[in-house]
């Protein structure tokens, strides 16, 4: 009898193991989803137009243009004014389903209609030849079956536009920070007096990780921040006589939004 019970228990255990393997196989075969968003850390320009033609993704961080394995995100070509994407606003570049696994490289394919507007004058933005096959970003995105992965691209307009000496020409050298939105938090607050629209930065250590410009009502929001301690720096515009203000030890816990209330400039 004991032998029979042992065999029966072994048989049941085998069935459970097979069932578990079947469930895992089903889970592994379920597709995940990737959504790509674009936001901006603004620059002191009137407009920055970026010509986005495509977004592509690959498992390998070393894959070159023309190699197999590239997957196009479902992206419609668009021209985006980066300066419209501040204070938590974003543009959805595209979304697609992917096999589970780690994807290490994203390419942002830019067209040639990139422009900056300064003092009412529109200037073409030249793109370095090394980026003609697409701007390469390391993302290390782990896609899991049945889950959405929202990748935020924070395009820093102020550091991405470089004046070419005294030629009057401007080059586009994109500086982009990436973050998974589901695993990031935000900082919000209000600047008084309203209407002065100062710059606001989130700084961790010596690194400025995010920035925005307060709206006409004084409100600001910075998104895509990892859990940690930040220093919030408020810098008045060049024609504003108010003094800068720094708020230290601002704690962010993803995915929550930390409010630092009202900051008064004097």
At 127 the pLDDT is 82
Per-block mean pLDDT, blocks of 10 residues, the chain (266 long): 38 42 52 96 92 95 91 92 94 96 95 93 82 83 96 93 87 93 96 91 92 94 96 84 89 96 91
Q: How far is CA 108 from CA 3, 77, 89, 203, in A?
A: 65, 11, 19, 26
At 75 the pLDDT is 85
The conformation of residue 74, written as its DSSP 8-state character, comes to B
SS3 1: coil
CATH architecture of 185-266: Sandwich (2.60)
Is there a shared CATH topology between the 30-183 domain and the 185-266 domain?
yes
* Strand partners for 161: 172
Q: Which secondary structure element, helix H or strand E, spans residue 154, and what is its range?
A: strand 148-156
At 6 the pLDDT is 40
User: Look-up: residue for tokens 């895992």?
Assistant: 24
* Strand partners for 110: 52
At 43 the pLDDT is 86
Q: Where are the domains of the chain?
A: 30-183, 185-266
At 114 the pLDDT is 94
At 171 the pLDDT is 92
Residue 63 · residue 70 · CB < 8 Å? yes
Structure tokens at 140: 């290390």
Domain 30-183, what fold? Immunoglobulin-like (2.60.40)
């Amino acid at each position: 009898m004991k032998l029979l019970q042992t065999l029966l228990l072994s048989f049941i255990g085998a069935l459970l193991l097979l069932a578990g393997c079947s469930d895992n196989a089903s889970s592994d075969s379920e597709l995940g989803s990737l959504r790509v968003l674009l936001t901006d850390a603004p620059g002191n320009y009137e407009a920055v137009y970026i010509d986005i033609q495509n977004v592509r993704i690959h498992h390998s961080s070393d894959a070159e243009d023309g190699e197999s394995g590239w997957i196009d995100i479902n992206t419609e070509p668009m021209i985006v004014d980066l300066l419209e994407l501040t204070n938590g606003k974003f543009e959805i570049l595209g979304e697609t389903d992917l096999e589970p696994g780690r994807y290490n490289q994203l390419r942002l394919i830019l067209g040639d209609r990139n422009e900056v507007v300064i003092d009412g004058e529109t200037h073409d933005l030249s793109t370095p030849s090394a980026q003609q096959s697409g701007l390469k970003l390391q993302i290390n995105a782990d896609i899991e079956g049945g889950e959405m992965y929202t990748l935020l691209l924070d395009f820093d307009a102020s550091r991405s536009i470089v004046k070419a000496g005294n030629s009057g020409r401007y080059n586009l050298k994109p500086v982009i920070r990436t973050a998974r939105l589901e695993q990031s938090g935000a900082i919000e607050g209000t600047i008084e007096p309203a209407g002065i629209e100062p710059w606001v930065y989130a700084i961790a250590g010596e690194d400025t990780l995010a920035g925005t410009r307060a709206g006409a009502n004084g409100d600001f929001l910075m998104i895509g921040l990892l859990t940690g301690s930040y220093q919030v720096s408020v810098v008045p515009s060049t024609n504003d006589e108010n003094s800068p203000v720094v708020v230290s030890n601002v704690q962010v816990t993803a995915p929550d939004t930390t409010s630092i209330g009202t900051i008064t400039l004097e």
